[in-house]
A and B are shown apart, each in its own frame.
Chain A
């Protein structure tokens, strides 16, 4: 059994929380006392059935306003897979939450209301999916019960969305007609849409292949911690602890330590006292090198055959996440894996109107703005381009006055 992380994008009215509630409910992932609390709650659908959206609306303010304002994580598992759902709000003022949810997912579910078809926010959600480079997209055309389960409606939406998908280079898109409220094609295949011959949503989620990072030729391990027991019997023990963020390492691989550029070879791969011959993306390990080199937290070990870019001047997409606008006169901190260094915003190239995808001039970035900037860092960063390597191509910006995370950066090019 493996793990699939996915996120759902849709607006308040698309029935997103209901869809997740339906996945949990029909896959029997809701326990009795949660169900009891649900039934005792005052919120009911018009026909008196339980409002499944309550299952994901966690915070008081959300219950009061009847909207989802944060990322809520939900878990369920079937015989084939364990799932982590990031339930993110769809309204434009919560773009940053959607970016956050998308950054931690392998797959996106985009909800379209069958009555309204592809609308402005569908474009916005799809843009975020393409910005965060999610390879797998499922378009759920929801509320099919409200359009008499019409195939023509579904086909028209399919066609309209295909144009957006091709504009945004979303190559792997699956279309499923559903009714979250009634349960059609969510877990169980619908009897109301015999014209649809594809899989139900859950069936699709259970069977789709997702493990791109492992196949990457770029082997990367940011060093988090150096293990040095300094006891008598382990006097010379020096292990570099970290999590392989992409690719694989093998014993005797030639590696480069960046940003210093020093080279060595892997002498030993350890996972919790057990020696391994190789280690893959996602695993937390301790590596040993043949040479005694100076390595500390913030350095990154890479395979010498595929070294990343090392640069201080980087072009990146930026999503601004703070209520205080970007100030290009101050220094921010950039955190890239385990490395932190100061940086300045050297240039604001453009912003994107995320409803129309038009490029517009940028003189500042406000909350939820997305666009392209050039940053200059105090220390060089050893990074990959985001579309090739998410873990080593993404970073966050921190405002050192407030310590808040104020921006998400997706590295697109070195300017030098």
Chain B
């Protein structure tokens, strides 16, 4: 471990643990939203540090689009076994079957947008008053302005103009019935911070983060895993490449990058040298300059 890296990682870690303990202290029914991605995996480690040897004061919640990478689900189930904590899964398929959302059609169809409805239903059904998520302010411009305690109205909406001031490290979690708070303990971390932390803590990750051989197709200039949900046609040419994923979302909207980074040290070097920021590999942000802000107002994380 690089001694120079410890100080600022320790500071970020201490801040995140403080935030998690504030959630435990201020809310009746919090939940930790677990996506299987490296950021929520980091949150789980931080929760262990905040509450062990006690139990977590919240369950883990996973919104399953049904289009996950199988590696993510394997990882999730193994992790839950190790932790001995409760997992609640909300299925987008259920929302589709109930007619609450309509599956998109066409080539670029994705369930990514649909999961907001499933998430809001899961929050309502379990009466969660706080949902902890792994979003970071360095990911995107709209996120750069979001609070650590971000209040959502009963429709799950974020109102950037009505954000509460956050002073010192005092977090105001008071809400009205029906509202809930999204809490982002690693707001102040960058992608590189997360990776350095994962290396320092020797945290295991789903295998798709590391370089592996996979059949991919090229769409809109990005490499997508060749999966049955992708509505492929004869124009899509499948090629087998060494790739890895920088974020882990739904298979329909998470692009791969060509990579020979088989080990975490390789990944960190690759990111340091990288010229494409992390969300650049997410097709869902590309729609318009205000894409993320609009989705957040609608209840997305």
Contacts and interface: CB of A to CB of B under 8 A. Distances in A.
A245 B169 CA distance: 10
Interface residues of B, number: 58
Contacts of B11: 2-3, 282
Contacts of A31: 274-277, 280
B277 A34 contact: yes
Contacts of B289: 37, 41, 63
B54 A228 contact: yes
B144 A58 contact: yes
B174 A398 contact: yes
Contact of B275 (A32, A41, A284, A396): A32
Contacts of B49: 271-272, 284
A415 interface: no
B24 interface: yes
A61 interface: yes
Nearest to A80: B4
A116 interface: no
A74 B187 CA distance: 11
B22 A84 contact: no
A72 interface: yes
B70 interface: no
A82 B197 CA distance: 14
Nearest to A97: B165
A2 B141 CA distance: 25
B280 A241 contact: no
B171 to A, nearest CB: 8
A60 interface: yes
B247 to A, nearest CB: 14
Given A104-B167, A321-B165, A59 B188 contact: no
Max count, chain A CB within 10 A of own CB: residue among B48, B50, B167, B192: B167
Interface stretch (B12-20, B28-36, B110-118): B12-20
A269 to B, nearest CB: 14
A273 B49 CA distance: 8
Interface of B: 4-5, 7-8, 10-15, 17-18, 21-22, 24-25, 48-55, 57, 137-138, 141-142, 144-145, 160-161, 163-170, 172, 174-176, 187-188, 190, 192-193, 274-277, 280, 289-290, 293
Nearest 9 pairs of A and B residues by beta carbon? A33-B280, A32-B275, A31-B277, A284-B17, A403-B174, A58-B141, A224-B21, A103-B167, A272-B49
Interface of A: 1-3, 31-34, 37, 41, 56-61, 63, 70-75, 77, 81-82, 84, 96-97, 99-100, 103-104, 224-225, 227-229, 231, 234, 237, 241-243, 245, 271-273, 282-284, 297, 321, 333, 335-338, 390-391, 394-396, 398, 400, 403-405, 408
28 contacts: A1-B7, A33-B277, A33-B280, A34-B277, A58-B293, A59-B293, A63-B289, A70-B145, A73-B144, A74-B144, A75-B138, A75-B190, A77-B190, A82-B8, A100-B165, A224-B22, A225-B24, A227-B53, A227-B54, A229-B54, A242-B21, A273-B52, A284-B14, A284-B21, A297-B25, A337-B170, A394-B168, A405-B164
